[in-house]
Structure 1
Amino acid sequence: MAQLERRQKRASDPLKSTPPTRAELAAAAASVISARVRLGKVLLPPRAGDVSTARHDVKRAEADLETTLGGTPEARADAILIAEQSVELAQARLDRILAPPHPADIAVAEAEVQKAEADLEALVRSDRTQPVTKKEIDAATAAIKAARLKLERLLAPPGAADVTAARVELERARVELRRIQAGPSHAALEAARQAVDAANARLEQLLSPALASDVSSARLDVRRAEADLAVLRQRRRYTSASDIELARLKVRDIELAQLKVEAAEARLSSALAAAGPLTVRAPRRGTITALLTTLGAHVDPPTSMVAMADLERLEVRVDLSEFDIARVKRGQSATVSVDALGGQSFRGDVLFAALAGTNTSGVVTFPVQVGLADAPGLKPGMNVSVRIVVANRRNVLQLPLEAVTQEGGEATVTVLRRSDQPISRTVKLGLANNKSVEIVKGLRAGERVVLEESGGGGGE
C-alpha cells in the first residue's frame, strides 16, 4: 500500500513532465516580472497626480451636492425663470399649430397660385419668334404645383403628429418647471452624498499606507511565480527518459520538497486572495431596512441584495404657507418635535427652502427640507412638528398678543395708571410668535396693561 502511494506521488512529480518550450519559459519569466511590479506598486507611496485627481474628484462631488441642494438663491431664480420661459415658448408653439391660418397668409398663397397660372398661360400664348420649349412648360407647371401645394397645406388642419409633438414638448417643460420649483428629491440628495462619500473614500485609500493583507498577497504572488519558473527551468535540464531518471536520483529530495511546499503556499495564498471579493461591503454607513435576496440565491454585480438607509442623517419635509416662507432661509436652526416619542425634540437646520410655490387645489405652499444631525429613536415615516427659528431676541419687553390692538396700521395697548384709570397708548411692535409680541417702543417694564380676556392684567 505504501509502495503504491509512493508511485502515485512520483507520477505527479513536475520533473517527469515534458520539457517546457521557450514560450512557456518566457511567459513564466514575464509572470515573475509582473508580480514584482505589482508588489512595487503596493509598497510605493501614491503618485502626486493620482492624489491631485482624487482631491479634484472630492471637490467636484461636493460642488455637485451643493448644486443638488439648490445652489445660491440667484441661481435657483435664474433656473426657474428659464423653465418658465420654456413653458411659454412651448405653449406659443402649440397655439401656432392649433390656430387657423392668417387671412393675409392665405391671400399671399392664392396670389402666388394665380401668378403661376398666369405665367404659364402667358408662356403658351407667347408670340415670340422662337417656339416655347418643353423645359419651360415643365418649369411653369412645377411652379403651379408648388404654389397649389403651399395653399393646400396652409388651408389643411394641423397634422396629428405635429400637435402631439407640441403637446409632449409643453408637458415636458411643465414637468421640468415643477421639478425645479419643488427642489431636489430625496433620491437625488442621497446619490450626491454617496458620490461625496465615495470620492472621500478613494482619497483616503490613496493617502493611507498599504494594507498588510495587500502586501502579503503581492509577495505571495511573487513567490508563486518564482516557484513556477523554477520548476520549468528544472524540467528544461532533462531531454530524455534516461536523463529524467538520472536527474531524479541526483536531485535532493529536501530541495524538491521545499519547492513543492512553496508552490502550494503560493496557490493557497492566491485562493485566499480570490475569496476576498466574495465579501460584499456597503459603500457607506447605514442601517439595513430590507433584505432583497435569500440564502443560496444566485447574485451578480447588478443585483441589489439589501436596502439601506442612513438613519443618522434624517430629513423632514414640511410645506409652509406664502406668509411664512418669506422669512425662512437655508441654514436657519429648527426644532423638530415627535409626538410618538413623548414630545421629544431634536435640533435641525434648514437644508432647502423653495423659491417658487406649488399650487394644490388653489392652496399655494412652499416645500422646505430640514436636516437632523442626531435624532435617536426617530424613524422614517413618523409624524413630526417643525418649529423654524427665523429670528431670536433676548431680554426684550413682550406682551401677550391679546393685549395689543392693531387698527389702520397702528398698534395700541391699554395701560392702567396708578389711579387705575385706563389710557390708550401707541406702541411700536417687533418680533412676534403665535403667543406674544415684542414691544420696541411706547411701554416700560413694570407698567400694567389691560388684557381683553380678563379685563386687566400686568405687563412686563
Structure 2
Amino acid sequence: MDQAIPLDVVRRRTRVRVATTLLLVASLCAAAWGLNRVLRPSVSAADVVIAEVRRGNVDNTINAAGVVIPVHEEVVASPGASRVAKVHAKPGQQVAAGDLLLELDDHEIRLALEALKEQLAQQDNRIATLKQEQAQKHTQIVSAIELLEIDLQAARATLERSQKLRSSGLVSGENLLTAELNVKRTEIQLRQQRALMDATQRTTASNIAAADLQKAILQKQIAQQEQLLDRTRVRAPFGGMLTWLVEEEGASVAAGQLVARVSELNNYRVEATLSDFHARQLAPGQAVRVEQNGEAMAGTVHTILPEIQNGTIRLLVDLAQPRNGSLRNKMRVDVNVVTERRANVLVVDSGAAFNGRGPQPVFVVDGGVARKRSVTLGASDGHVVEVVAGARAGDRVIASDTHAFKDLDAIQISH
C-alpha cells in the first residue's frame, strides 16, 4: 500500500531542483560570457588613450638630446710647468673680472727674468763702449786729416816754388819731380784717411745696430717673462661663475694645462647631439624647440659642427631668450629641430600606437568597438602627428600602445 510523501520532503526536493536549474543557467551565462570574451576581446576605456583626428598645424622635427652650455666660457691655462702654490677661490663661486683665483710657483720664471735683465745690462754696456770707441776713432782720424791737409798745403807751396825756380834753371829736374810726388803722396794719404773715416763709421754703426737688435730681442724676452710672471697669479678673465679650478695646493701642472674655467652667468645656449643619419636634413638657421620640464623655448640652429664622432653629429642652438631664469649650466634638455612646417592638415595627438611615417594599422573607435584600419602618417613634432590618408576629421583613434591587439581586427571598448 502506497504512502503519501511528507510535505517537507516534497519542499526539499523542489528547492534542490530549483537550485540545480539556477546553477545550470548561471553556468550557461558564464560560458556564454567567456566565449564572448574569447571571440571579441575588450579593453576598458580607462586603460587606453583615445585621440580625435582634427585640423591643425604640425612641424616635422628631428629629436636630439641637448645640454645647456654658457654662451661665453673662457679657460685659463698654466703659463708653464709649475705647481699650485696657493688657492684663493672655489668652484661654483661667483667671481668678478680680475679676481685672484690661485697662485702658481714663480721661482723659475723670476730666475729667468733676472738672467735676462743681466744680459740686457751687458748689452747696454756694449753699446756704450761701441759708441765711445767710435768717438775716439773719429777724433783720431779727424786729427790725422787735419795734419795731412796742412802737409798737402806745404807740399803744393813747395811744388809751386820749384816750378818757378826751374824756369830760371835754379832747381834741378829731380827736385821738381820730388816736389810733385810729395803732393800726390799727401793727396793719396788724405783720401785714405777720409775713406777710413767712412769705413770706420759704417762698421761701428753696423755693430751698434746689431747690439741694438740684440737688446730689442732681450727686451721682448723680458716682456714675455714678465707676462708669464703675471700669469702665475691666475685671475678671472671676466665676471661670471667659476665652474672649475685646480683645488689641490702643491699639485703639479704642465705648460698649457687647464687650471681654471669661468662661465658667463645667465646667458646660455644649447649643444645638441643626434645621429649623423639626419645630417643632410640640418642647416643653420632652422627653427628649434627646446623643452625642459614641460616648458618649451624657441631657438635656431647657429652652427653645425663638422666633426662626426661615433656616428653622432653636434650642433649649437641659440635661444630666443638666452637669459631664461630656469636654465642652468649642464642641464639636460630635449631638442626638436624643425625641418618642415605644414598648416591646416589633419593631425592627431602623438602616442605609442604611431610609429614613424608611412602606412600603419591603427584602431579607429566607432561606438563601443575599435576596428583596425590602415592609416598613412606623415610629419610629427612630438606632440601631434599628421594624418595623410585613412582617416578624416572627427575620427577617434587609440593613441596608446596597441601591441597586445596587433593580431586582432577589432576590440570591444568597455566603460
- TM-score normalised to structure 2 length: 0.30
Q: Which has the higher contact order (CA 8 A, sep 6+)?
A: 2
Determine which structure has the larger strand proportion and give its number: 2
Determine which structure has the larger helix proportion and give its number: 1
Please tell me whether Structure 1 or Structure 2 has the larger radius of gyration of its CA atoms: 2
- TM-score normalised to structure 1 length: 0.27
